[in-house]
A and B are shown apart, each in its own frame.
Chain A
């Protein structure tokens, strides 16, 4: 029979507005937290990472915030553009393995 897939959370924003995508994690021992972007038909693409001993890191138009107290990670995208429309995944890694454990994903829709 037909399987029912997960319904990814969706964030819809107006072009030019700021976007905030949230993620909860469970492993307090993770060393790094990472955000990936996946466009339709493509593999995930690295955006930015943050080490567990930091609480904020900025990149070009993106900022990642880490709140270890409540095990929460967020990705802020400034001046969202149509090209930002994609599924965004948070991921965590522990130890020097490179092994990524991915979260569920959030779909970002940018309205022109």
Chain B
């Protein structure tokens, strides 16, 4: 397996534009997580899905952020409209919850810059 795949790796956009980040989890994993990393706040959990269903979105900063998981092999995180303070590295992770152990596998991340 190629691991968790995120795209794009880098995104530069202007304030007010819509941004869509994409994630392909590891095949067979039943849970998917979106995290945001900044120097100020570290690694924060935004939302997670179990069996494609959103379970906890309490970490989503505001209504400008939305996430979907239409099937077991794909998820998106959308920011509309984007703002400079959204600049961060966004990570997607997947794991097999209930399979024993705690290991989550992270993608390489998407570095978002909003100017």
Contact = CB atoms under 8 A, between A and B. Distances in A.
Interface string B87-108: 0000101010110011111111
A69 interface: no
Contacts of A32: 102
A87 to B, nearest CB: 10
A104 interface: yes
Chain A binding site: helix, strand, loop or mixed by DSSP? loop
A6 B40 CA distance: 5
Interface residues of A, number: 25
Given A43-B108, A44-B106, A5 B101 contact: no
A44 B43 contact: yes
Nearest first, the 7 closest Cβ-Cβ pairs linking A and B are: A5-B39, A43-B106, A102-B43, A98-B97, A46-B103, A98-B95, A32-B102
5 contacts: A5-B40, A44-B91, A96-B97, A100-B102, A102-B43
Given A97-B48, A99-B33, 10 more contacts: A6-B42, A42-B108, A43-B93, A44-B106, A45-B106, A49-B101, A97-B50, A98-B97, A100-B93, A100-B104
